Structure 1
């Protein structure tokens, strides 16, 4: 095992998840597996469909950004993960946009898509507040308390050069990320409908099952002690 202090937080996080919250890690892995199933389905149709090609690449790009964000969360860099979450949700919204306006995939390939805000307005996007928060505190240079508070040792003014795995923060960040990853799965699955894929029912059934597990594992819809009141 690599004992470099650079990866100490990741080792601590993986140990905590495997020992105390294995269901958290498993649901994230299963969500990524479902994203891959959607990508494979789009790829099967990509030779004959510009829509399938663009949606497949959109889903793959979102997956890569999501994997990068999850990696940063494991490294104790949840705030920095927000810098990747911002484009991640843009690609998720693009899947909704392309399903609603399939003729727009050509604009994606020639670089003439409307701005993200205009696309979000066209589909009635649900991410406005999250996007604004990420813009203010994660995606751009910022000196707000949200951007910098984790850079100090707790209760002091000393700089914290390396993060540590805080179980409470880790669990909250994994929960929030898993929800966003499910939303990608949901939109990627719905985006397959115009292609009349034979395996759409199978993927849709798996997406429904993983949603039920997600709801149960993270007690979604129930008040939690770490939720804002």
Structure 2
């Protein structure tokens, strides 16, 4: 059994059929790395920058893992990583709105995730509940198990096959979540008055236009 057959097919499909979308996704990752570097540059003198940068780096690592699973045809399993990913994404908003909480984070004394989400009016409540029910914990729901069975025969599907439509949907949804992470991180840089803020903000805004164009998204 070739464990990487689906990944190989998916990568080839993205490179040949969805080159613009793949480029946008990789550019989001690249800008996240630059934003992490901007926080790191002053992390030694500013606890907010240190905590924010480490938080963003952790979110990026979870995103890389989720994307890797998507490429393996394991989009449902990638939800197990997206659940903590959105928690770290909400933490970015929390620290931006309540910068004094960074010191609490440094001492590992933050309020619980639910309290933080309520404090910022979090947008992820329904998504989090869906992931909790069908991806992040043991579940026997239709959404958790259906991809493990062959259509019609219900035989166990030992290796996920490359299905382009599923890949395109998963990559689109993932790219949106990743961009939201980047956008929140760049907003937080403004408070620190770093020399890189204006450039990163302008490029992030431009990347939004490219994202909408590549994935045919509507602003409505």
**Higher mean C-alpha displacement, 20-29 vs 169-178:** 20-29
Within the candidate set 51, 54, 57, 1:54 is matched to 51
Q: Distance in 1 between matches of 2:109 and 2:136?
A: 23
Q: Which residue of 2 aligns with 1:34?
A: 31
In the TM superposition, residue 203 of structure 1 has moved relative to its aligned partner by 0.1
In the TM superposition, residue 222 of structure 1 has moved relative to its aligned partner by 7.8
Does the alignment pair 1:209 with 2:206?
yes
Within the candidate set 165, 168, 188, 1:191 is matched to 188
Aligned residues: 220
Q: Which residue of 1 aligns with 2:113?
A: 116
Q: Which residue of 2 aligns with 1:69?
A: 66
In the TM superposition, residue 161 of structure 1 has moved relative to its aligned partner by 0.7
TM-score by length of 1: 0.94
Q: Distance in 2 between matches of 1:105 and 1:156?
A: 53
Write out per-residue CA displacement over residues 33-90 of structure 1, whole angstroms, 9 at most, x where no aligned residue: 0000110000011011000000000000000000000000000000000000011111
Q: Which residue of 1 aligns with 2:172?
A: 175
Write out per-residue CA displacement over residues 188-209 of structure 1, whole angstroms, 9 at most, x where no aligned residue: 1011111111110000011001
Does the alignment pair 1:137 with 2:137?
no
TM-score by length of 2: 0.98
Q: Distance in 1 between matches of 2:204 and 2:152?
A: 43
Gaps of 5+ in 2: none
Within the candidate set 3, 7, 11, 1:10 is matched to 7
SS at match of 2:155: coil
In the TM superposition, residue 100 of structure 1 has moved relative to its aligned partner by 0.7
Write out per-residue CA displacement over residues 6-58 of structure 1, whole angstroms, 9 at most, x where no aligned residue: 00000010011111111121111000000001100000110110000000000
Q: CA RMSD in A?
A: 1.2
In the TM superposition, residue 179 of structure 1 has moved relative to its aligned partner by 0.1
Q: Distance in 2 between matches of 1:155 and 1:194?
A: 56
Q: Show the 5 A alignment for 1:91-106.
A: 91-106=88-103
Write out per-residue CA displacement over residues 95-125 of structure 1, whole angstroms, 9 at most, x where no aligned residue: 1100111110121121111111111110011
Q: Distance in 2 between matches of 1:16 and 1:117?
A: 39
Q: Which residue of 2 aligns with 1:43?
A: 40
Q: Which residue of 1 aligns with 2:76?
A: 79
